[in-house]
Amino acid sequence: MHSLNGRKIVVASHNAGKLREFSDLMAPFGFEAKSAKDYGLPEPEETGATFEENAYIKAFAAARATGLPALSDDSGLCVDALDGAPGVYTANWAEKEDGSRDFGMAMQRTEVAMQQVGATEPAQRSGRFVAVICLAFPDGEAEYYRGEVEGRLVWPPRGDLGFGYDPVFLPGGHDKTFGEMSAQEKHGWKPGEPDALSHRARAFQKFAEARLGTE
């Protein structure tokens, strides 16, 4: 197993929302975490059929280009009534013709699809956010850490915090959507604290416990 003693790591993402969350999560551990964008790296094409495959594509590309260990995340929303869609295509559902992303449009698209299959009652609107973190090294070695959070989709969207599909996702046992939660409520976690809530924070917690010596 490769060491992380160098305390430098590349966050293989260009997504501003993810970078903020990773920055918050990495802060307690004393790592110098710069993004792939900071290094001027292009975004690799995500051609994988699973979250694990796409996470590896991003992490390994950054590790190979910088010579440093790289951490990436591939995540998505899996809706039961839509047979797990949008899944690995979660970001694609937000893509516009000009290449930009509009998550308001993506949430609307998801709602239309659910209406079309008759998923109108709360019990029919279950789903989960999934995040897979990949830690990759320049030689191709990789490790994976998966986090999930169950919940249901609401409509109309609620809250303007977070990013992506957060305003329509109500995590189980809570009365606020991710879009209505502060960053601390959604993914705040430090060693010794109760388990994290968000899918990304849960995946990171597993990574931290395995690789950063937390308990």
From CA 99, how far away is CA 96, in angstroms rounded? 5
At residue 51's C-alpha, the angle toward residues 92 and 45, to 5°, is 50
- What is the predicted pLDDT for the residue at 191? 61
From CA 125, how far away is CA 130, in angstroms rounded? 16
Task: Enumerate the β-bridge partners of residue 134.
Answer: 72, 144
- What is the predicted pLDDT for the residue at 157? 97
Q: Do 147 and 206 meet the contact criterion of CB atoms below 8 Å apart?
A: yes
Q: Which CATH architecture has domain 8-211?
A: Alpha-Beta Complex (3.90)
Q: Which of 24, 74, 139, 160 is catalytic?
A: 74
DSSP secondary structure letters along 96-154: -TTS-B-HHHHHHHHHHHHHHTT--SGGG-EEEEEEEEEEE-TTS-EEEEEEEEEEEE-
- What is the predicted pLDDT for the residue at 189? 65
Q: Do 179 and 161 meet the contact criterion of CB atoms below 8 Å apart?
A: yes
Q: What are the tokens at 211?
A: 């690789």
Q: What are the tokens at 6?
A: 């160098």
- What is the predicted pLDDT for the residue at 24? 78
pLDDT digits (tens, 9 = 90+) for 18-38: 788 787 778 788 777 889 998
**Nearest Cα to Cα of residue 143 among 44, 76, 209:** 209
pTM above 0.85, yes or no: yes
- What is the predicted pLDDT for the residue at 164? 93
Low-confidence ranges of the chain (pLDDT < 50): 214-215
73 in catalytic set: no
Cβ neighbours of 201 (radius 10 Å): 21
Q: At what angle do helices 199-211 and 16-26 cross, to 10 degrees?
A: 40
- What is the predicted pLDDT for the residue at 190? 62
Strand runs labelled E in the chain: 8-11, 32-35, 70-79, 126-136, 142-153, 169-171
Distances (CA, A) of 9 to 42, 60, 84, 111: 17, 12, 32, 38
Q: Which residues contact 36 (CB under 8 A, 6 or more apart)?
A: 10, 11, 12, 13, 14, 43, 58, 61, 62, 70
